[in-house]
Amino acid sequence: MSRKKPEKLVDENDVRIDGRKLNELRPIKIEVAVLGNADGSAYIEQGKNKILAAVYGPKEVHPRHLALPDRALLRCRYHMAPFSVEERKSPAPSRREMELSKVIREALEPSVFVEYYPRTSVDIFIEVLQADGGTRCAGITAASLALADAGIPMRDLVVACAGGKVDGRLVLDLTDTEDKKGEADVPLALMPNFNAITLLQMDGSLTIDEFEKVISLVLDGCKSLHALQKEALKSKYVAVKEVVEE
Amino acid sequence: MSSSPMVARVKQKRIAELISSGKRLDGRGLNDYREVQLEAGVIERAEGSARLRLGKTEVMVGTKIEVGEPFSDVPNEGVLTVNAELVPLASPTFEPGPPDENSIELARIVDRGIRESKTIELEKLCIEPGKKVFVVFVDVYVLNHDGNLIDASVMAALAALLNTKMSNYEIVKGEIKEKPGYTPLPIRNHPIAVTFAKINDKLIVDPWLEEEQVMDARLTITTDKDGKICAMQKGGYGYFTTQQILEAVNIAQEKTADLRKLVVKG
Amino acid sequence: MPLFYEGKQLVTPGDLLAEGNYVAGDNTYRDNDKIYASRLGLVDFEDRKVYVVALKAFYVPSVGDTVIGKVVEVSTGGWIVDVNAPYLAMLRASDVTDRPFRPRTSDLPSIFDAGDLIIAKIVAYDRTRDPLLTVREPGLGKIMRGQLVEITPTKIPRVIGRKGSMISMIKKETGCQITIGQNGIILIFGKTPEDERLAVMAIHKIENESHTSGLTDRVTEMLRKEKGSVEDESKKA
């Protein structure tokens, strides 16, 4: 009953299967305001991840009895398309999707001025069209942009990234294979201007020292991601300004 | 008044003020746990069971072992399934119905602690590789909610697993036949969770119900018997700074050692 | 006492705008002695006030605003109106009829029915209840003709222009009657559909280029060019 020996995920030169260095993010593309009906939306590609986020609100709450008297009700649905993963996933919400919907909501809520709009709801939808590890983080990064695109006042953007341990090395931005076969996965979300961590999970096995180093790695990754987030948010308007001033 | 789950504003302020000055309403220090009372083997019908009281929070965990199919990517290993139920009688805020996000999150946190620390020697639960393995069901049953269901559930689950006995068996013509005698479920690790609540920028361990209602956020850190971190979960609508997280990780090290002694006797 | 940006720079939520003895204006917020942006937009300063002109924001009702809305439901005692805000607004039957309201004999749908568009004014609104409307003033009431354009409400001041310069110019160039709702909805009624189309074009151009300068001149130029080419087309026909 011997366990299968794990394949090598990182080689002797600290290069990962997809050619990345230990502290390198996957290639990222972000676009804001991609959907016509939603009040705010954003699309992100991170490696093979393809994720769409949309926001509706603030608007009247349905059903009415859920309305909160002193603030907006934030609701979040994280969902994976059946074709997003290798083996077709049933469209019914899984326990994992329910947990992620909760932690994602809790990651985004500290950034929204919910007190400004009592008795309304702000609904956030995250649809994973293709998944390859780190979808909750990419989803948060996109959802935060969707909230900003909807014109909802926020304290800060929220940016998220995961780190972990693979083949004994501490790495940034794990793919699905690295997460499944590695030793630890630590997703984290942050309000960058306040260094406020709004999502933190971990599964695997790390010493305290390793954990500290992974956190440091992830915070750096978040910083780079945040710059891309801001650029994506501004880019539409910058483009128009440049055209007009020609 | 006792049926309303909301804490009166005046009391909320009192709790927060006291914590700012390093004290808690029930007299505990910021790093003190409530009293733990543990009773194992309370349900004879279950393969293993435990009933744990953490202050007034009460959780019962029962384990059942059945025969099932292994997962395709680990055909030689038994299967672990953790479920949690926030039983309606445990709190005026628990409604009957399918599992909601809170019970699902609780189950998955307990699951992570056990799974990632490789607590159960699943490779020893294989009957016929690729076809038949033992499935260990861990069912967490919350009986009274007075705060910190996570730590109580993790401890009770560990106690129930340590209490779990499987009847001996042999394979006769491809069928499983029971033999006399029992074998304890093979356990190699002892995960324990420590949950912190952040109130007025201070960290406290083991929040009771009213502290939970006032807290900004919570952070659960699960460590194994070697002091390695095997699971973490931040919850609630607030946030933590990096410093607070590292502070919590260090306090957790010390607290899990104490709690582990209560659960793992001898 | 530092300011971290120059006027008319693009800022995103969470950007630190100023530190020190400043006043937090629109679309900013204060945390201790720091002022941050809360929406995407162009930061600007006026004396000690730091504010952001948001590029996109939804309408939040304000007492005294003229709004254009759609009746979504006839309920007991009045009408529920969608004014493109997070809250549905209420128009009471007593606002419209002087006679006491009798549920059995008063026929509310004959006054306003679901689907009707109205111009109204907000008379009451606070955190604890939905906005209340009135149609009692001249110029308010059911919209019978014309077409609607919807733009993000933050751009309405740009459509109006300084001392009404932009909107007067559009009215003059297109010959249309234009009613502006503070909630981002504009009613256009022209002598011909073509005139209305020009006005709609102008408004969309303002919405897309609101953050640039020299806009009034460019809109005027565009309208004149469009009118000119249309006249050429009709001459050819």
Walk me through the domains of chain B, giving residue ranges and CATH numbers: 26-263 (3.30.230.70)
Q: Name the closest residue on chain A to residue B130, using Cα atoms.
A: A1
User: Does the beta-carbon distance from A191 to B239 stay under 8 Å?
Assistant: yes
Whether pLDDT at B3 is above 50 = no
- Rounded to whole angstroms, the Cα distance separating A51 from C29 reads 31
Query: Domain segments of chain A: what residues?
Result: 28-244
Model confidence band, residue B5 (pLDDT cutoffs 50, 70, 90): low
User: Does the beta-carbon distance from C88 to A60 stay under 8 Å?
Assistant: yes
Closest CA to B78 of B129, B113, B17, B148: B129
- Rounded to whole angstroms, the Cα distance separating C133 from B46 reads 65
pLDDT of residue B133: 94
The answer on C222 and C151 residing in a single domain is yes
User: Does the beta-carbon distance from B232 to A201 stay under 8 Å?
Assistant: yes
Whether pLDDT at C192 is above 60 = yes
The answer on C152 and C232 residing in a single domain is yes
Whether pLDDT at A1 is above 50 = no
Q: Which residue has better confidence, B3 or C145?
A: C145
Q: Which residue has better confidence, A102 or B6?
A: A102
pLDDT of residue B266: 42
Q: How would you classify the pairing of strands B57-68 and C23-24?
A: unpaired
The percentage of chain B sitting over the pLDDT mark of 70, rounded to a whole number, equals 97
Whether pLDDT at B227 is above 90 = yes
Q: Among A94-108, B96-110, C27-41, C210-224, which is the least confidently predicted range? A: C210-224
Q: What is the DSSP string of C160-217?
A: H-GGGHHHHHHHHHH--EEEE-TTSEEEEE-SSHHHHHHHHHHHHHHHHHTTSSSHHH
Q: Among A187-201, A229-243, B149-163, which is the least confidently predicted range? A: A229-243
CATH of the domain at C16: 2.40.50.100
Chain A neighbours, 3+ Cβ pairs < 8 A: B, C
Question: How far is CA B136 from each of CA B69, B209, C187, rounded to the nearest angstrom?
Answer: 12, 31, 68
Determine C/B contact with 3+ CB pairs under 8 A as the test. Answer: no
Does the residue C84 lie in any domain?
A: yes
User: Does the beta-carbon distance from A1 to B249 stay under 8 Å?
Assistant: no
Determine C/A contact with 3+ CB pairs under 8 A as the test. Answer: yes
Calculate how close chain A gets to C233, using CA atoms only, in Å.
27
What contacts 24+ positions apart, CB below 8 Å, involve C225-234?
C226/C198, C226/C201, C227/C173, C227/C198, C230/C194
pLDDT of residue C103: 60
Q: Are the CB atoms for B42 and B51 separated by under 8 Å?
A: yes
Q: Name the closest residue on chain A to residue C130, using Cα atoms.
A: A119
User: Does the beta-carbon distance from A101 to B101 stay under 8 Å?
Assistant: yes
The answer on C136 and C153 residing in a single domain is no
What global pTM score does this model have? 0.92
Q: Closest partner residue to C208 among A70, A155, A240, by Cβ?
A: A240
Task: State both tokens at C113.
Answer: 């029915």
Q: Name the closest residue on chain B to residue A212, using Cα atoms.
A: B246
User: Does the beta-carbon distance from C38 to A155 stay under 8 Å?
Assistant: yes
CATH of the domain at C107: 2.40.50.140
- In chain C, what residues touch A110 (CB-CB under 8 Å)? none
Q: Angle B101-116/A95-108 helices, nearest 10 degrees? A: 100
Calculate how close chain A gets to B58, using CA atoms only, in Å.
23
- Rounded to whole angstroms, the Cα distance separating C42 from C211 reads 8
The chain A residues in contact with chain B (CB within 8 A) are 1, 3, 95-96, 98-99, 101-103, 106, 109-110, 186, 191, 194-208, 211-212, 215, 219
Total beta-carbon pairs less than 8 A apart between chain A and chain B:
100
pLDDT of residue A3: 47
Domain that holds residue C90: 66-142
Assigned CATH topology for domain A28-244: Ribosomal Protein S5; domain 2 (3.30.230)
Q: What is the mean pLDDT of residues C80-96?
A: 93
Q: Are the CB atoms for B57 and B37 separated by under 8 Å?
A: no
Per-residue exposure over A117-146, b if at least 16 CB sit within 10 Å of its own CB, e if not: bbbbbbbbbbbbebbbbbbbbbbbbbbbbb
Does the residue C1 lie in any domain?
A: no
Does the residue C2 lie in any domain?
A: no
- In chain A, what residues touch B236 (CB-CB under 8 Å)? 106
B266: number of Cβ within 10 Å: 2
Whether pLDDT at A105 is above 60 = yes
Question: Which residue, chain included where needed, has tokens 């009135």?
Answer: C134
Q: Name the closest residue on chain A to residue B228, using Cα atoms.
A: A207
Q: Among B90-104, C158-172, C222-236, which is the least confidently predicted range? A: C222-236
pLDDT of residue A241: 61
The chain C residues in contact with chain A (CB within 8 A) are 10, 12-16, 27, 29, 31, 36, 38-40, 54-58, 86-88, 127-128, 152, 154, 208-209, 211-212, 218
Q: Judging by beta carbons within 10 Å of its beta carbon (0-12, 13-18, 19+), is residue C19 exposed, middle or buried?
A: middle
Q: Among A42-46, A225-229, B75-79, C135-139, which is the least confidently predicted range? A: C135-139
Calculate how close chain A gets to C51, using CA atoms only, in Å.
13
The answer on C170 and C94 residing in a single domain is no
Expressed in percent and rounded to 5, the helix, strand and coil fractions of chain A are 35, 30, 35
The answer on C76 and C89 residing in a single domain is yes
Does the residue C4 lie in any domain?
A: no
What ipTM describes this predicted complex?
A: 0.91
Q: Closest partner residue to C58 among A151, A157, A234, by Cβ?
A: A151
C10 beta partners: C42
Length of chain B: 266
Q: How would you classify the pairing of strands C49-54 and C23-24?
A: parallel
Does the residue C41 lie in any domain?
A: yes
pLDDT of residue B71: 93
* β strands within C28-77, DSSP E: 28-31, 34-37, 41-46, 49-54, 66-75
> For the sheet containing C177-180, what is the strand order?
C147-150, C185-189, C177-180
User: Does the beta-carbon distance from A60 to C55 stay under 8 Å?
Assistant: no
Domain total of chain C: 3
Q: Name the closest residue on chain A to residue B83, using Cα atoms.
A: A95
